[in-house]
Amino acid sequence: QVQLVESGGGSVQAGGSLRLSCAAFGYTIDTYSTMGWFRQAPGKEREGVAARVTGVGSTYYADSVKGRFTISQDNAKNTLYLQMNSLKPEDTGMYYCAADYSFLLGGRWNNPTLYKYVGQGTQVTVSS
């Protein structure tokens, strides 16, 4: 059974940093073509934060996080990461890890319905 388990969320003040982790169980992380992070704030739709399309070597970021967030993965640890720096109150939300076997290039990477597997999420709260 495939599972994605997020961790690393918490409460920080604006300007702080957090590193989210997504541990994969039931498969080898580098077998997926696209892995990404999404977030959802109360009352808002789920939005794409960042994604990596392996094999193609493409990395995508939402405009709102460019220059502040970095997505990476450690195949030896079978884990995907999201380093979040210079956090802002508007970064508050539940953060989800997602994976799919297809190459979600261009504008497709930030469509959460295209990912086959999604984790349960980890909460990030940024106070001003």
Tokens of 70: 């970095």
pLDDT of residue 13 exceeding 80, the answer is yes
Confidence of residue 111 (pLDDT cuts 50, 70, 90): very high
Q: What is the pLDDT of residue 34?
A: 92
Which structure tokens are listed for 21? 């982790």
Is residue 32's pLDDT more than 80? Answer: no
What separation, in Å, do the N-terminal and C-terminal C-alpha atoms of the chain show? 40
**Which pLDDT value is given to residue 89?**
97
Examine the pLDDT at 27 and tell me if it is beyond 80: no
Average pLDDT on 93-101 reads 95
